[in-house]
Structure 1
């Protein structure tokens, strides 16, 4: 089987690579071991007719105009600003922690200056910053850490805050104002017809052929490609020769409520201290869909299963570097995306990286 380009994985990284090379006259074969395109951003109507994200909520946001412009070729957008509440001691509080959170939690009436002083008073100064616990304690102190962060992290990662790299908690902002949006990017919108429809348009090109339910291991020696773009787990590509890179997995329990228009007040509610699941997302908030019922998903972190999140510890990063040396030595194969690069990527970051790589290669073939 001969093709110019082999793309392994039909998520954001693979779809962008496939579209770019196909649009420049290259023949492209896209394979995916799942039965659908779109990767973890795949969405579809459930049995009740509600549009749901099968692999948990995907909220698109970016500060990169070129990413917005590129994806806008394949979708219209619905403006949506995500809001999250956290269930603590039976009450719901805005997260990221902000002025409203502090005033509600401690029955205060502070302004921005007062909240800044509050944080300064309760924080435990940590120097140097060695891990995520240091980050959180340094920012908001022990009580807020224990109420909002510590147990959520333990559920999500199976590790204590003190065992995770600073990058994990460093992603979580703390605000002194009353901005209760989860993201503050300039562009915050959802594909108007869903992610899957957007992916269908991206891959709808005469130069692109798609083969689903196809495992790379079964075809890697059967496809004659000039260049290969791999977005699967990096350790699997090299047959786990250094051992398995740890990933955190998730299981999803979807539920529909007939004749119930709304289940919760915002798109996502976190449960840091109660239950086995970490959060519940109600999809109609995200999509704006009108329906007499509503559908939700509960997320349960797991140790085994499909890989979703690279586990950010120094030991795991060292193991990744061993695999990266092998990857860098591969001729004609490029590794892109969250799993292949063993890093946490937002969707827009994946798109930006794929656009940059394809541009470099198309302008300077090697």
Structure 2
């Protein structure tokens, strides 16, 4: 048996309960991980509430959660390996993605995990798999950042944004981060060349335009962001918040490619792909000191509901994790 955070129905953080459940066993191509820390990303809130309803259509359960244990980012120690696993052995320290990381043990596909950078704490490693890889794919692949480009990052003080600022700087860009007052110092410490506090300064007020905009905040009109781009600039929309109960803010990502057809500017909606190759690429950057996870708070497993509320209220400076 093991402790885990379980939900039987969709709803607010009040539906999350700490329970004793059976410990999983690794199947073919899986590793059993003794969880030491688990990341709390925005996806946790969406899967907990079942909102927008589009989430349920992606296979997570129409009427109730298909996987009752929450959490998808994990860092821990391999306890056992299933048949066909050659990349890992018991005792290896790993990080990656799975289903159900808010627990003492979890099984993950071996191609969704990588070795943990040796100098990172488990909490730092758990903050990285989804947010870090999403930022990497936004900056490197969708944004195709090059040296000297001017990059604007909306939501720079959040989970994905805090990684994106550091990655864009590592790739040689001039970075402007946009965030609220309480996150200004964090974004500046991450290496941003300029920081805009949107509660005090109008983003477009300075008249600057950018080669690339990474929107990790997900709530500004595309027509507004278009005016902040150079003639052949690129906008990358990372996820989406707000919007209707059916699609949330994801409709912005859906219509973005259509807008590109009628503009010299490129509008892209990013759907991140979780692979061990990108986890390893991110790990290399972290080992080199180019990127460091920004962990705001670590909650114990039993306080997972409070951790989810803290994140969803927008109070987190960087990432929130559970220590297990």
Ranked by relative contact order (alpha carbons within 8 Å, sequence separation 6 or more), the top structure is 1
Which of structures 1 and 2 has the bigger CA Rg?
1
**TM-score tier (shorter):** under 0.3
From the two aligned structures, give the one with the greater helix fraction: 1
TM-score normalized by structure 2? 0.27
